[in-house]
Chain A
């Protein structure tokens, strides 16, 4: 028994020693919390494609569908149901969680991280400023007042306040003007291929900056003409170059690198959710517009090839199930893989000409309105492959005839915006809807047959996302879909 007891003590001591050794090594043993899956820092140039692709995802997918349906180029297919609520004007906050998230938590925050990173080159920073300006303009155009001054600073402001649209526009101009000298910096490292839009072509970025600034000032032309006029005059005083090419990401057929809306359609099992709306199709037909067959797909019927459309929002009432779809050119034909390479136009060449035409028509800039107007139409024809635009320009009722007949500034603007509307079909749905909200042109919109809001009301804004409602103490309250944003007309 005695022997046994001694052994016990020795062993107990040994165990104690082992335990003590374990104790002191504890901290080291437990120091395993460095994330092996994700880096703590990366080169700022790696963030630029993120910012650009995110803006392109917003413009080219979510806003593309809302825009094209609310601009009445497209309507919900009777054979599917994905976008019914858009045609019903029954959208709710959760519908906008996605684009809001892409704007703030992908596009804007990564642009900001480029700007704040001391190792970012001047050129890289310049582009990031433009992306930030573009993103905030997009946000305020869609939602009205949005967080800006307290946005993107999570440790300082956990409940960012909403700034007025005017304040957001002021900042947009500031960002653009900060960008220009950075873009012009000569000794800067060029982002090259990391720039998915212009591959580091700084002259193009300067033109983009000027065109964006013109677009932004014109947005204020009706609501705040003094600011718009002063801004545009100051811009023209710099002898600006404007875009003559589309600002777009070149999408490729590789999965995940495709046109975002087409990619969405593929993910939805190839279901064709959108079809031709009679609102746009009738207007194109009235002008015998050769672009019609580029924007939509002719339905091949043994009896007669034709372009079939249905009235906006009439997906339920429609007995015939064959309707023309938007074309692969605009990325919206679900079963045609060539939709994959359709561009997302952040700003288009045609738009650039029409913006200049409007600035001149309003007397705030120098230039020749008919020349710019025709250049816009020609750029659109070139972009769609619809052939020589001359005959159309000269003979279509909405062609040069409309501009020539216009006497007042408003009538000239009407002709310009209406032509811009045709050029933006399928390509720039959000911008076309936005310009209609600003100017009331074109004038042939109808209320959707599926509308659940009062007669005469139209969607004039996007709703604040549900994610803000449920997490932000500074949430300003839900504004109904039929209330205009700051620069918008009450009854366009």
Chain B
């Protein structure tokens, strides 16, 4: 069977994919969030707090997702008034505020972090959630809701003219992204067994965005592929030792310059769909 080390790499990669999908969902409706680390923190702390106080893991996991979703809904409201980079910046601020909040919450360990979380997450939990998410995204992308997302992203005014309820769709996108990130956080907490606010800071949020955009925003597969590659890449770069981050940065930069639309762009996706499906009309 797989060694412990390999399993841990796979679990972290799986959680990164989950997080990238949580960014992709609102992004597919044109809502860029640079605060996914904040939702992840909420899910992680909620679930960890519950299991430490005796709640069974599945319930705590669900609660983590629920809190992520509720806060996502709350963050969605200012999002109704803001677009593009304004939204990126406000969600950035949201992530920072969540971090500072946990830094100042003694019940959650404050800056010292929250320890003693019972081990619960296995690779099967991560894999199971991923399968559910992939199924969900394949079902959503062709549905009425998925088409409303795409319409809203491409042209908000036109989408509204065609009868898309933009308020409802945006809030749904944000809330669903929050649920996914909350679940990701809950799984993360029960694998690392120790969480502190710094684990979910700006760096986390930016990397989540990096994964999804690197893979390409034309399809949810972009987020999956991007996160999988970029979270395993540091392992493959072990041989460069302490030049690792520099190499990593240069690699990402070069690939983005070569493929500004991300790895899986619309053309590549069309070529990959062998069954001659309708080519994704996004780019």
Query: Do A and B share a complex?
Result: no
User: Contact residues of B with A, CB < 8 Å?
Assistant: none
User: Contact residues of A with B, CB < 8 Å?
Assistant: none
